[in-house]
Structure 1
Amino acid sequence: MTYPNIADHGLIGDLQTAALVAGDGSIDWFCSPRFDSPSIFGSLLDEGRGGHFRARPVDDGYTSKQLYLPGTAILITRFMTEGGAAEVVDFMPVSSSRVATDRHRIVRMVRCVRGQFRLALDIAPRFDYGRGRHEAQLTADGCVFRSGQEAVTVNVVREPDDDRVARVHLDDHGDLHAEVLLTAGQTRGMVLETASAGPPRAFRAAEVRGLFDETVAFWKDWVAQSTYVGRWREQLIRSAITLKLMTYAPTGGLVAAPTAGLPEQIGGERNWDYRYTWIRDSSFSVYSLLGMGFTEEAAAFTGWLRDRVQEQVGGGEGPLKIMYRVDGSSDLVEETLDHWEGYRGSRPVRIGNGASDQLQLDIYGEALDSIYFADQRGLQMGHQGWRAVSGLLDWLVEHWDQPEEGIWETRGGRKNFTYGRLMSWVAFDRGIRLATSHARPAHLGRWTEHRDAIYEQIMTRGWNAERGAFVQEYDNTVLDSSLLRMSSLGFITPTDPLWSSTLKAMDAELVTDSLVYRYNPEASPDGLRGSEGTFSLCTFAYVDALARAGRLDEAALTFEKMLTYANHVGLFSEEIALTGEQIGNFPQAFTHLSLIDAAITLNAQLDLAASGAVPVRAVQIPVQRAASGMVAGTAVSQPTGS
């Protein structure tokens, strides 16, 4: 079977769910009614049994190009033949985004722009990850597909006198096939609806153009909120739109990716479900979105995070989960779809995520760091929020000094990961800052004692004199690129000799042609077979670290080279294979978050260098993240012992 490259896709969505559209016009991934719901189209994970919605020229002799309408999430796939040219304009109207709904629309507007064009439309839904059988009912105005209590309605787009739809039929599987002939200037297409209240109806071209105009206006108005004026603005805006598309608006939760099961190694077993909200990933989004001026989204997530903290810690239920469903529930039981072959034979295909019950101590630092940063930007928590945060830190007092699974969610057993300790230090540090700046009640003496104890422990056990570097775990020599954040978090200054030595060691072992590996799995077994590519978020973190250390030429070159690995519409997956191919779930929020952070830091440092100013050496929390793209605020002095 033939699969498109993972990166050969654009993303559309309505802030509650999303769909992937391949460069040949095929929708091969769509879940409804939410990101984490079962799929309706899933041919990306099983070309034969997953289901699809294809729109492509009848004749094979065509070329195609794909692009976003600038400043929007509207995807245009252009087909060119000798007889004519047409555009398939795909988008999902955004309506009542704050109210969860089962009803979603995918609009496929087809416009002939030159000559004549005959387009083939094939709709083959496969409900419940292909496990549900369906029936189809064809009418003059479209088709209804039903599977149990679920229904998908397809409405045609046509004018009253239109007789150009030909050879419409259902095959033996209940799949719809149709052809439409268009001439220059005509607009036709189909509108797919989930949970529609009535039978199919014909949409007029003017009505579809109205939906198009409303969707353009929504995205243009949203992008206009950005205050970023620095370098690489186009790439940052595309990343911000992508993050917005992966945000579940009713709660503010950000999914790690809209896909599941895409492999980190083609044919391998590292195939995870990323359609959930990680505490870690979403906490990082606060920096990126506030750094570009998008305060509403940052406020929504901090509210989501506050609710999780109050439910878990405030309710006496113990530590936070590392991830949740977009509605805040924590039922993420992992299972495999044994009837699907997986992307290019990459099995097993997993849904749910067994890592949800792991102990990962770093999430507390990421959560507190984002809350502190939001507080500095005026998004301050109330009394109940502070009580929950205080309870979380009191829990951490008793639990930070123990083995855990770590940021990379390894399945090789718990270890004393340095990054987990680092972020525990961050949690206490930011809690102390919040308490003192607002005169909040807190166990400051205990928090300070444990903050300083973590600092000393990292400096004695996390530093490895043999490697001349901070290492992945205590009593080991493995390097880990998660520690690239040490200087940006204020634990160590960017010019400290210990940090310069650590960067030098990473340069030699984890960096290959500017791309960065997480760690060496051969030296640090993670409990899984196979290998993986370089991690794109780590490469952007490397850019950030280089810029802070004053290595601006290297940082700029690394950043520019990394941008060449984006796909044709500016999207990134999780990893880059040795061939340069994007692999892993797509698009990945973490990658786009780290792109924004790296660009803001690098832009600020380049501005300082261009002005002739001495590079900033004092640590800021966070350093040089600003809505304008310029240096933000003033340096924050570090407490004693940090």
Structure 2
Amino acid sequence: MLETAIAEHGLIGDLQTAALVTTDGSVDWFCCPRFDSPSVFGALLDDDHGGHFRIRPAGGGYTSKQMYFPDTAVLVTRFLTEAGVGQVVDFMPPAGNAATDHHRLIRIVQCVRGRMSFEVEVAPRFDYGRRPHRTELSDNGVVFASETLRLTLHVVREPADERLAQVRVDDGDVRGSLDLVAGQLRGLVLESAADGPPRETRVAEVRALFDRTVGFWRSWLAGSTYTGRWREAVQRSAITLKLMTYAPTGGLVAAPTAGLPEQVGGERNWDYRYTWVRDASFSVQALLRLGFLDEAEQLGRWLGDRVRERAGSDSGPLNIMYRIDGSSDLKEEVLDHWRGYRGSAPVRVGNGAAEQLQLDIYGEALDSMYRGVRAGLPLPHAGWTALSGVLDWLADNWDQPEEGIWETRGGRQPFTYGRVMCWAAFDRGLRLAVEHGRPAPLERWTAERDRIYQQVMERGFHFRRQAFVQHYDTDVLDAALLRMPTVGFIDGRDPMWSTTLQAMDRELVTDSLVYRYNPEASPDGLRGEEGTFSLCTFSYVDALTRAARLQDARTTFEKMLTYANHVGLYSEEIALTGEQIGNFPQAFTHLALIDAAISLDAALDRQAAD
């Protein structure tokens, strides 16, 4: 069978793990008990062998629509048939701030009008389909158990309902049906680490869990200070970033999926279920701009812990990425038994880029900490000591080749963006020291900051092309450099920046969508091509705004909004056909949407006031 299109999904989660639900009512991606745990349902990557949890009208002949319950992460999939209208309401009650193996995926099944018969199929495939399981059926539900994980399926019903006569076990999978009339509500609760066997679960209980989950999300979202033009898109992006945050540590995954291709049929298929220092820092900056302080404070503690763990390390005070609990074992392996999304193999889990040297992460981390302190977060002595250690290491190590922001596998280079972000690291450290009276080797940090600036201006700008380029030994353009005015390295109206932006207009932009770089001109060690990178498109909006090209910026932003899926979610890239490709949803894209919206809003407001 053909896997459901990437964009035909909504996301639910409990702040420790997440699931994707298709527009026809199938959970086809769910890792348990954490984001980075092996999958239980993985039909997204192999419909035949990945496993799924499907609820849909029996007999086919339906159309479906999907929406989020307003201002929440509660997903509603509606089915329209000749006999009636029904819906499946999917959500996961927040699991709390303490790490736990206990999670609940709740699926409320309801007939809204007429009569509906739903077919149910629960087909788990533990450990990416590599471990067998046993299935135990009882009056009140089912237990699926492997060597490493136990899942309990509770049936939601009323006392007068029949027992589970319509349910059967077929080769370890469970199939059944639910026949409902208008107004009836039933459902299923899939629970990990349950404290007992399947039990009778009443409708009133799941209604109460629904109300509490809705209340949680609306209470959290009420903390947003955004009142601009694109409120719906910004708020959905904020909820999506929150859904990808691991509450016990504050670590934020780059995406909740693994192995979705940057080119259908290609090999650019990576595991994004980890916390990148860069992605997490950018995400916190975006949430800070919306008024959410707790997430920034958590990230500060998380970063401090990582720095202290690596004190004295020759390879630097930070890895580029970690597991969500802060551990650094990300060994990459290939799932040879899975065909991959639409035949896009290999399917990789783990991430071999974890050991790369990417110097830009220090600028992103220091910038996020600086923004947090300016927003009112504390700057404790231990935190300042950790930041000082980072900058002391960077002073000795910034001027060396590295792999760069895009994690290319074609060898180290003196990437311009990495130098720019090293400049930002020293700049933010100096500001913190001066503004808060902290002890620091100001002369040394200032000297290194200024050395970087001069080097970038002299070697990063290609005078024949009149543009800043990807690294010092090439004339290739790189959309990562769109952030140069964002971090304050150059004014958005500087002539050197204006000509750079014009060069990008010609070479990297196609109908407002932006490519990261041209892999043919700048070999990255991988075969194939990729789509336009949605982060870069929103960064382009920000750059256009800072260059005072407001009409271009607004047109680009509005066009980009049309590429969102039906519930406002974005994957990593957009293919030539306009379909979403790459891991989904991607934090990078949603945080960049927030940043672009806020910057463009402010510029348009200033223009209107003039």
Which TM class, normalised by the smaller chain length?
Answer: over 0.9
Secondary structure of the structure 1 residue equivalent to 2:166:
strand
Q: Equivalences for 1:137-536 in 2 at 5 Å? A: 137-163=136-162, 167-171=166-170, 173-313=171-311, 318-536=316-534
Paired residue for 1:627? Answer: none
2:140–2:163 CA contact under 8 A, matched in 1: no
Q: Which amino acid aligns with 1:387?
A: T
Secondary structure of the structure 2 residue equivalent to 1:47:
coil
> For each residue in 1:350-377, what CA deviation from the matched residue of structure 2 results, as whole angstroms up to 9, or x when unmatched?
0000000000000011011111111111
Distance change >3 Å, CA 577–CA 314, structure 1 → 2:
same
Paired residue for 2:25? Answer: 25
1:256–1:274 CA contact under 8 A, matched in 2: yes
Paired residue for 1:42? Answer: 42
Paired residue for 1:636? Answer: none
> For each residue in 1:88-131, what CA deviation from the matched residue of structure 2 results, as whole angstroms up to 9, or x when unmatched?
00000114x11110010000001110011000000000000100
Alignment partner of 1:556 is 2:554: yes
Secondary structure of the structure 2 residue equivalent to 1:29:
strand
State how far apart, in whole Å, the 1-side matches of 2:266 and 2:607 are: 45
Runs of 4+ in 1 over 4 A off after TM superposition: 314-317
Distance apart, 1:309 and its partner CA: 1.8
State how far apart, in whole Å, the 1-side matches of 2:106 and 2:257 are: 20
1:480–1:519 CA contact under 8 A, matched in 2: yes
Gapped regions of structure 2 (runs ≥ 5): none
State how far apart, in whole Å, the 1-side matches of 2:316 and 2:569 are: 37
State how far apart, in whole Å, the 2-side matches of 1:149 and 1:200 are: 19
Paired residue for 2:8? Answer: 8
1:144–1:151 CA contact under 8 A, matched in 2: yes
Distance apart, 1:475 and its partner CA: 2.3
Gapped regions of structure 1 (runs ≥ 5): 613-642
1:482–1:538 CA contact under 8 A, matched in 2: yes
Distance apart, 1:525 and its partner CA: 0.2
Distance apart, 1:167 and its partner CA: 2.5
1:403–1:416 CA contact under 8 A, matched in 2: yes
Q: Which amino acid aligns with 2:501?
A: L
2:270–2:349 CA contact under 8 A, matched in 1: yes
1:40–1:126 CA contact under 8 A, matched in 2: yes
Distance apart, 1:436 and its partner CA: 1.0
Alignment partner of 1:98 is 2:97: yes
Q: Which amino acid aligns with 1:12?
A: I
Q: Which moved more, 1:25-34 or 1:289-298?
A: 289-298
1:165–1:181 CA contact under 8 A, matched in 2: no
> For each residue in 1:247-298, what CA deviation from the matched residue of structure 2 results, as whole angstroms up to 9, or x when unmatched?
0000000000000000000010000000000000111112210111111112
Distance apart, 1:218 and its partner CA: 0.6
Secondary structure of the structure 2 residue equivalent to 1:90:
strand
State how far apart, in whole Å, the 2-side matches of 1:318 and 1:416 are: 17
Distance apart, 1:315 and its partner CA: 7.1
Secondary structure of the structure 1 residue equivalent to 2:501:
helix
Number of aligned residue pairs = 610
State how far apart, in whole Å, the 2-side matches of 1:113 and 1:283 are: 44
Paired residue for 1:632? Answer: none
Paired residue for 1:120? Answer: 119
Secondary structure of the structure 2 residue equivalent to 1:442:
coil
Q: Equivalences for 1:63-102 in 2 at 5 Å? A: 63-95=63-95, 97-102=96-101
Distance apart, 1:310 and its partner CA: 2.0
State how far apart, in whole Å, the 1-side matches of 2:89 and 2:298 are: 30
State how far apart, in whole Å, the 2-side matches of 1:344 and 1:601 are: 38
Secondary structure of the structure 2 residue equivalent to 1:191:
strand
Distance apart, 1:385 and its partner CA: 1.0
Distance apart, 1:313 and its partner CA: 3.4
Secondary structure of the structure 1 residue equivalent to 2:422:
helix
Paired residue for 1:618? Answer: none
The percent identity for this pair of structures is 68
Distance apart, 1:381 and its partner CA: 2.0
Secondary structure of the structure 2 residue equivalent to 1:401:
coil
1:84–1:115 CA contact under 8 A, matched in 2: yes
State how far apart, in whole Å, the 2-side matches of 1:276 and 1:238 are: 22
> For each residue in 1:313-342, what CA deviation from the matched residue of structure 2 results, as whole angstroms up to 9, or x when unmatched?
367773310000111110000001111111
> For each residue in 1:3-58, what CA deviation from the matched residue of structure 2 results, as whole angstroms up to 9, or x when unmatched?
11101000000000000000000000000110000100001111111010000011
State how far apart, in whole Å, the 2-side matches of 1:495 and 1:433 are: 24
> For each residue in 1:549-602, what CA deviation from the matched residue of structure 2 results, as whole angstroms up to 9, or x when unmatched?
110000000000000000000000000000000000000000000000000000
Q: Which moved more, 1:194-203 or 1:300-309?
A: 300-309
1:310–1:385 CA contact under 8 A, matched in 2: no
2:111–2:185 CA contact under 8 A, matched in 1: yes
Paired residue for 1:538? Answer: 536
- Aligned-pair Cα RMSD in Å: 1.0
Secondary structure of the structure 1 residue equivalent to 2:187:
strand
Distance apart, 1:473 and its partner CA: 0.5
State how far apart, in whole Å, the 2-side matches of 1:536 and 1:504 are: 19
> For each residue in 1:512-567, what CA deviation from the matched residue of structure 2 results, as whole angstroms up to 9, or x when unmatched?
00000000000000000000000000000000000111100000000000000000
State how far apart, in whole Å, the 1-side matches of 2:60 and 2:110 are: 19
Paired residue for 1:637? Answer: none
